[in-house]
Structure 1
Amino acid sequence: MNQDVRRWLLSSTERDNPHTRVDDAHPGAQAWSTGNVVRPLVDGADYFAELHRVLEATTEGDLVLFAGWQVDGDERLTDDPSSAVLTVLDRAENRRVQVRGLVWRSHTDQIDFAAEENREVAEALADEDDEHAEVLLDMRVRRSGAHHQKFVVVRHRDDPSRDVAFVGGIDLASSRRDSSSHHGDPQPDPLAADYGPRPAWHDVHCAISGPAVADVETVFRERWEDPSPLTPALHSRLRDKLSKVRDTPTPLPPQNPPPPPVKDGAHVVQLLRTYPHLRRGRAYPFAPSGERSIARAHRKAVAQARDLIYVEDQYLWSSSITAAFADALAANPRLHMVAVLPHRPDVEGVGERMQWEGRQQAIEQLTAAAPGRFAAYGIENTTGWPIYVHAKVVVVDDWYATIGSDNVNRRSWTHDSELAALVIEDAGLDHSPYARSLRLRLAAEHLGRPLSGGAHERAMADCVSGPAMFEAFAACASALQSWHEGGMLGPRPTGRLRPLAAPSMRPWRRRGLEVPQRLLGDPDGRPRQLRSRQEF
């Protein structure tokens, strides 16, 4: 393997979790698989259409495993009314496909969570005639914590070359099925009023083929086989019994060997995760002290950055997390960083103000570390509605590229369960073509340029270098901002980028929000000794 590839990966020792089985199929200290092909799926409409095609093609003896933060059973995967999530899974189960789901039990709907929606899916697949399907409501988390992983695994009994895993930031839920034109999902969930009645939603997932599919399956199996109670709450256990939702899992079929390497597959795939240290006599058997390989890998990559750090993120919070980025920017005067973020939080009230406090802290720190070399942007659609950025993407120097469920904040790096796929294409070049093509595809969407084919390559030639893309984003955002400030006279400039500055909050209000933000919004799930040393 090219040493330029290896230096971006974690060894099994660096993962620092000897209790997991996720690397058991890999030789020696290797904590990744080779021979894969990974395809980014940008925005929910593309992901849902691909998932629908794969699920509808399953047959007797195949295995479908899914995990989610939120699952809405009535969300359609395509425009077809018969493509609703529950309908598709029920058809697969009727074909004697084995369907298993792990869905976060969630906090109450009264505080903008999805407990009832998730329960409806579990109850619908608990009917006696659904003998090949089972969904568990999983609350094995820290207090105020969540299972935030979002992935689907499909294993084919008779043709493992067709096996596929989908990993990223997109839940099987309302509002997610937006296309790259960003006019919103026909089945919207309300966000803050500024996003309008049909919120535009930008997100990223990926489809993995090859041996790494078995690694994603192992992530599911470790959680499924955890013998600890699914919830400590007595009232939840009583309700489960009344509604026939299972409180203990039935055994999964034996795990098949990994799928064969894909012909000419040059993608190295490493799975990165977060699991918290549960405390109070509870522990994950596969991660007794938790796992923080997402934080470890991101920090390792950022420390090596010399050209461009490109981030798409829902939050970008907290100076204790963004310090690694600030240190890299300060140490390398040619390094640039671009962050694409939501224009504003998705909620209103106290939750909104807590998010602004976290963002202000991060943006001020990064701006001070690299004046003129850090920039944050929001995006809007062509009718002027802001697009909610839910993507979780990190690309460093066109080598390191992750797509996952994890945000750049303390909660994702230490407290909630998360899963990300680090993909590096070992092509013998001075970069990973996968990382560069992902960055340029996302940049093309935000710049309003062609998204594929020869026209895309020609249009994005001026963005191949990191500093050049930094300037292209700045010029695009400046033109659109000036058009808005000038009364929107004349043709609308091309592109979707608007500059974001650090929020401005009064010092007394900011101080008043720091404690609730650290306890509730962005809590720390590390063991006490790591927290005191600021290590991961």
Structure 2
Amino acid sequence: MSTLIPDAVPRNPDLPVSAGANPGPILEPGRNCWLIEACDRASVLVDAAEYYHLAGEAMQSARQRILIIGWEFDTRIRLEPGRAGGGQTLGEFILALARAMPARRISILKWGFGALKQLLRPSALWMLWRWHCTRAIAFRFDRAHPPGCSHHQKILVVDDCLAVCGGIDMSTARWDTSEHLDDDPRRIGPEGRPYPPWHDVTMMLAGPVAAALGELGAERWQRATSEPLDPLPDCSEVLWPDDLPVQFENVRVGIARTRSVYDGCAEIREIEALYLDMVAAAQDVIYIENQYFTSARVAVAIAARLKEPHPPEVVMVMPRKADGWLEQVAMDAARIRLARKIAEADPGNRFRIYVPVTAGRQDIYVHAKVMIVDHRLLRIGSSNLNNRSLGLDSECDVVIDAALPGNQHVAPTIAQLRTRLLSEHLSVEPAVFEAEFARSGSLTATIEALRCDGRSLDLLDLTRPGPLDKFVADNELLDPESADGFFEPMGRRGLRRRWREGLQRLRRLRPSIMS
């Protein structure tokens, strides 16, 4: 079975807004976000080649502190592999920063899982020892979480003035350009082996919102290391990279988190609430790029919208297969089962899952975590659409809501970003995409009209999972929504249970829609 169902019907803009839509602001601090903060400038960075280059510039401009928080971190990668001689390794780059300005502090926090593997790499171990002997650098492992939980945030903060938050780690097999060439000689890992094309997204932000991300990072640092970071004075400098065009100016940005219960810290599920609220607020189009789709609660919310008389279109761009055998067993089978359930509730044929491929028909791995609703909501962060990201792992997303006071001017930029992403995947000029979208009035119809045999988007084939895959997926063996989920009896967890819970929740909130 495939998600391809021909002739999706465009939405009629003259029809009334669906009962589930919310034309006002959806951000509510304390419920679906931590806070809403002012942002002087912001731009979306697509793919790690752009991010690594700009992150290098930003770190060189730091005067007081560089704070890096990540799921993974590899000193052996090169930030600019296209440069003559291959450029510096990340480890050498950090050392050079420390030597150039010894008073500037460089604090790096990496998830503790995999620490032993890193220490078994001679070159990495030697670099970490050199860092240890350098007073300006503090490299720590984060183990302050329940068993089975991962520290998954990807944050860079410079002087509490400039920050990056999104899905890109400074790690192996992440660097790629937006061209995603089939045989790019620069796409080589530290061991000398080539790796597949990789698509990712993050966001650079300046102003008070960067200070808020610095506060979040400092809290995480202290929890993981028991060492407080010194507070910094208010930043008055403009650290924005000269070669990065500003996409958003003078906007208000929300920050949403996930955190599991641990050592006196309460659970935080702002990210889950925000996903559900964004689905409910959609009027015309929900566009998602994500690595996984295994959350039955989010799937139920999508299915409920598609059952409405005038539902939005829902387009997902995802990898064909998860990265690694265990992830494929756990995540791919669950995605198939949820997509099939959604298809049953989709009489208007408005739900599609696409896979990006190169000109040579090689799969491009999607690691991005992006959600765009209509022209009014933009969300970029570290969270996946799986149970772990919604209740177990530590996550951080940033969101721009055009309905917030002072944000009304951002809607065209949000629309342009969606066009830019889909134009990249379809290998067409943005003007071509915009013209076809204006003609058809449908995102899925536009994609279908522009798909081709070269670099393009393939529809995901929903092949039935095998018995083992089905068992692992149905029982959420590798994708629990809390630390206790690893130890729950089989009868108290699983896709079916989460689906029923999601239906019950929607019936309480919107009984007329679910009747």
For Structure 1 versus Structure 2, the TM-score category normalised by the shorter chain is: 0.7 to 0.9
2:395 aligns to what?
418
The reply to whether residue 188 of structure 1 matches residue 189 of structure 2 is yes
Alpha carbons 1:8, 1:300 under 8 Å: kept: no
- List aligned pairs for 1:80-229, cutoff 5 A: 80=83, 81-94=86-99, 95-96=101-102, 97-107=104-114, 120=125, 123-124=128-129, 126-128=131-133, 130-155=134-159, 163-183=161-181, 186-188=187-189, 197-226=194-223
- Look up the SS of the partner of 1:502 in the other structure: coil
How far the C-alpha of 1:498 sits from its partner, in A, is: 0.5
1:233 aligns to what?
none
How far the C-alpha of 1:318 sits from its partner, in A, is: 3.5
How far the C-alpha of 1:114 sits from its partner, in A, is: 6.3
The reply to whether residue 252 of structure 1 matches residue 249 of structure 2 is no
The reply to whether residue 277 of structure 1 matches residue 261 of structure 2 is yes
**Cα pair distance change 1:358/1:148, threshold 3 Å:** same
**Cα pair distance change 1:99/1:428, threshold 3 Å:** closer
2:332 aligns to what?
356
1:448 aligns to what?
427
- List aligned pairs for 1:286-301, cutoff 5 A: 288-301=265-278
Counterpart selection for 1:42 from 46, 64, 68 = 46
- Look up the SS of the partner of 2:178 in the other structure: coil
2: CA distance, partners of 1:474 / 1:275: 39
Give the fraction of aligned pairs with identical amino acids, expressed as a percent: 24
The reply to whether residue 388 of structure 1 matches residue 389 of structure 2 is no
1: CA distance, partners of 2:329 / 2:234: 49
**Cα pair distance change 1:83/1:56, threshold 3 Å:** farther
Counterpart selection for 1:10 from 19, 27, 36 = 27
2:465 aligns to what?
505
Q: C-alpha deviations, 1:448-471, integer Å up to 9, x for none?
A: 113xxxxx3465233369952221
Counterpart selection for 1:524 from 482, 487, 491 = 482
How far the C-alpha of 1:298 sits from its partner, in A, is: 1.5
Alpha carbons 1:119, 1:137 under 8 Å: kept: no
Counterpart selection for 1:32 from 32, 36, 54 = 36
- List aligned pairs for 1:454-533, cutoff 5 A: 456-457=430-431, 459-463=433-437, 467-477=441-451, 479-480=452-453, 492=454, 495-506=455-466, 508-514=467-473, 518-525=476-483
TM-score, normalised with respect to structure 2:
0.79
Kindly provide the amino acid, as one letter, of the partner of residue 86 in structure 1. Answer: G
How far the C-alpha of 1:53 sits from its partner, in A, is: 1.5
Kindly provide the amino acid, as one letter, of the partner of residue 105 in structure 1. Answer: G
Q: C-alpha deviations, 1:257-312, integer Å up to 9, x for none?
A: 3658999923221111111123xxx23xxxx2221111111111111111000000
Counterpart selection for 1:57 from 47, 56, 61 = 61
How far the C-alpha of 1:116 sits from its partner, in A, is: 5.4
How far the C-alpha of 1:331 sits from its partner, in A, is: 2.4
1: CA distance, partners of 2:237 / 2:36: 15
Kindly provide the amino acid, as one letter, of the partner of residue 187 in structure 1. Answer: I
Where structure 2 has 5 or more consecutive residues not aligned to the other structure, the ranges are: 1-20, 241-245, 507-515
2: CA distance, partners of 1:465 / 1:258: 47
2: CA distance, partners of 1:149 / 1:448: 31
**Cα pair distance change 1:53/1:260, threshold 3 Å:** closer
Q: C-alpha deviations, 1:455-513, integer Å up to 9, x for none?
A: x3465233369952221112334x43xxxxxxxxxxx4xx411011323124x445422
Alpha carbons 1:295, 1:413 under 8 Å: kept: yes
Bigger mean CA deviation after superposition, 115-124 or 85-94 = 115-124
2: CA distance, partners of 1:257 / 1:465: 49
2: CA distance, partners of 1:464 / 1:140: 50
Alpha carbons 1:149, 1:418 under 8 Å: kept: yes
- Look up the SS of the partner of 1:520 in the other structure: coil
1: CA distance, partners of 2:439 / 2:385: 24
1: CA distance, partners of 2:370 / 2:120: 29
**Cα pair distance change 1:466/1:389, threshold 3 Å:** farther
Where structure 1 has 5 or more consecutive residues not aligned to the other structure, the ranges are: 17-22, 24-30, 157-162, 191-195, 231-247, 451-455, 481-491
What's the Cα RMSD here? 3.4
Kindly provide the amino acid, as one letter, of the partner of residue 315 in structure 1. Answer: Y
How far the C-alpha of 1:200 sits from its partner, in A, is: 0.3
- Look up the SS of the partner of 2:476 in the other structure: helix
2: CA distance, partners of 1:407 / 1:509: 23
Alpha carbons 1:73, 1:84 under 8 Å: kept: yes
TM-score, normalised with respect to structure 1:
0.76
- Look up the SS of the partner of 1:32 in the other structure: strand
1: CA distance, partners of 2:416 / 2:376: 11
1:268 aligns to what?
252
Aligned pair count reads 454
- Look up the SS of the partner of 2:132 in the other structure: coil
How far the C-alpha of 1:126 sits from its partner, in A, is: 4.6
1: CA distance, partners of 2:341 / 2:445: 21
Q: C-alpha deviations, 1:232-272, integer Å up to 9, x for none?
A: xxxxxxxxxxxxxxxx4543222323658999923221111
Q: C-alpha deviations, 1:343-398, integer Å up to 9, x for none?
A: 122223x5422222211122112222224100001011112211011110011112
2: CA distance, partners of 1:355 / 1:204: 21
**Cα pair distance change 1:5/1:318, threshold 3 Å:** closer
2:16 aligns to what?
none
Q: C-alpha deviations, 1:7-42, integer Å up to 9, x for none?
A: 3443223248xxxxxx6xxxxxxx211243210000
- Look up the SS of the partner of 1:337 in the other structure: strand
